[in-house]
Amino acid sequence: MKKYNVAVVGAGLVGKKMVEVIIERGFPFKDLKIFATREREEVIAGKSFLIKKTTESSFEGIDFAFFAGTEGEKGASLEFGWKAVEKGAIVIDNGGDFRMHPDVPLVIPEVNSEHLRKNKGFIANPNCSTIIMLMAVAPLHQKYRVKRIIASTYQAVSGTGSKAVEELENQLRQYIEEKPFTISVYPHRILFNILPHIGNLSDRFEGYYTEEVKMLLETRKILDCPDIMVSATCVRVPVFNAHSEAITVQFDVCPDVRKCREILMSSPGVKVVDEPENARYPLPIDVSGKNDVFVGRIRRNTALENAIDMWVVGDNIKKGAAQNAVQIAEKMIEMELV
C-alpha cells in the first residue's frame, strides 16, 4: 500500500484528535508532522511529537494537510490553505472559512463522496452539528426526499474548545467550594445553565446565530438541494462532549417509521438505539468517544404531514470533526483521486 506524508495544522482539541484518529484507523502515513502557532513538544496518542511553527515551507513534500480549524474563528487555512495546495498537498479543512466556496467540495464521506471528484485540491469538513444531523437524515432523503428540517441542538462545550471545557470544570469546583464564578468564554455561566447562543448574529437571516445558519446552508450544498427548508435553534449545554439534536424531518411522501428504522440500521456510520419502553436511547455520555452517530426516538410527527421526529447524538470532536476529515482522505485514496 502506498504511504503518504501527512501534516496536521493545529494542536488543540481537534488537532490532537486528528492525530489520534490517524493512528487509530491505521491511516497509511509515511511521515506525520504537526504544525501550530508556536513550537513545543507534546505527547499525543501516547507518542511524543515536536510541534513546529506553521510556515509556507511546512507543506513541502506533504500529500495530505489536515487543518484543524476552530469554530467561530478565522482558521490557519486562510493564510496557508491554498498555498499548501500550490505545493502539491491535498488540504482537508475543518474550519468554516471555505465551506461555502464554490470551488471547495463540502463532504461527509457516507453521504456525498461523489463530490470529491470535483475537488481542486481543497476539501472542507462541514460543521459538526451538520455532520451529526445529516448522518441520520441523508439515508432517509434517498428514500423519501426531504422537504423540510427543523432542528434543536444541545451542543457540548468541547465544541468551543479546550478553554470552554476548563471553564465548565472550574465553575463546578467554584460551585462546590462556594466561590464566585469565573465567566470568560461564554457571555453567561454555563454550569447548570443552557445558552441559546452559538456563534454571532447572522447578517443574512435576522435573529439567527451563525451556527444555525450553517446548518441551513451546508445542508443544501451537501445534499445538492437548494430548496430544502431548514430552521435550527442551537443551544450550548453543560455537557463536556458529544452533541445531541432533536430533529423533525418532513418528506415529499409519507414515510414508514419501521422502514426508516431499517434504513438507518443498515446505514454506514449510524447506530440505532431505539427502545423507549426500556428507556434506551442515545445519550452523550455513552456516545462520547464513539465513531458512529447514534439515532433513537424515531417516531411519526403528530403536527406535520409526512414527517418523523428523531433524537440524534454524535461525538462532535471525533465524527463531527477529526474522523470525518480522515475519512475524506481515506475515501480519496479509495476512489484513486490522489
pTM of the model: 0.97
Give the pLDDT confidence score for residue 74 in this predicted structure: 72
- Asked if 107 and 134 sit in the same domain, the reply is no
**What confidence score (pLDDT) does residue 72 get?**
57
pLDDT value for 153: 98
Which candidate in 128, 141, 234, 260 is catalytic? 128
260 is catalytic: no
Q: What is the rounded end-to-end Cα distance, in angstroms, of the chain?
A: 13
Q: Supply the range of the domain harboring residue 45.
A: 4-126+321-334
The residues, ordered by sequence, that sit 6+ positions from 175 with a Cβ below 8 Å of its Cβ are 181, 191, 192
- Which CATH number belongs to the domain containing residue 306 in this structure? 3.30.360.10
Q: Give the rounded distance of the alpha carbon of 205 from its chain centre.
A: 22
My answer on whether 55 and 138 are in the same domain is no
pLDDT at 219: 98
All three cell numbers of 97, joined, read 472559512
pLDDT of residue 1: 86
Name the catalytic one among 115, 141, 234, 243. Answer: 243
Distances (CA, A) of 194 to 151, 157, 322: 16, 11, 26
Pair (90, 142) in one structural domain? no
d(CA 333, CA 119): 13
Burial class from Cβ neighbours inside 10 Å (0-12, 13-18, 19+) for residue 134 reads buried
Same domain? For 151 and 300 the reply is yes
198 and 147 in a single domain? The answer is: yes
Report, as ranges of residue numbers, the positions in the chain whose pLDDT lies below 70. Answer: 71-73
Question: In terms of domains, do 9 and 86 share one?
Answer: yes
Domain co-membership, 151 together with 276: yes
Distances (CA, A) of 334 to 21, 137, 243, 324, 338: 18, 25, 29, 15, 9
Each residue's pLDDT tens digit, 73-96: 678 999 999 999 999 999 999 999
List Cβ neighbours of 264 (8 Å cut-off, separation of 6 or more): 136, 139, 140, 270, 272, 295, 298
Q: Please give the tally of structural domains in the chain.
A: 2
Q: Are residues 184 and 259 in the same domain?
A: yes
Give the pLDDT score at 248.
98
Q: What is the CATH number of the domain that holds 15?
A: 3.40.50.720
CB atoms under 10 Å from CB of 239, counted, come to: 21
Please indicate, yes or no, whether residues 256 and 225 belong to a single structural domain of this protein.
Answer: yes
Regarding whether 269 and 231 lie in a shared domain, the answer is yes
Question: What's the pLDDT at 75?
Answer: 80
- Residue 128 is a catalytic residue: yes
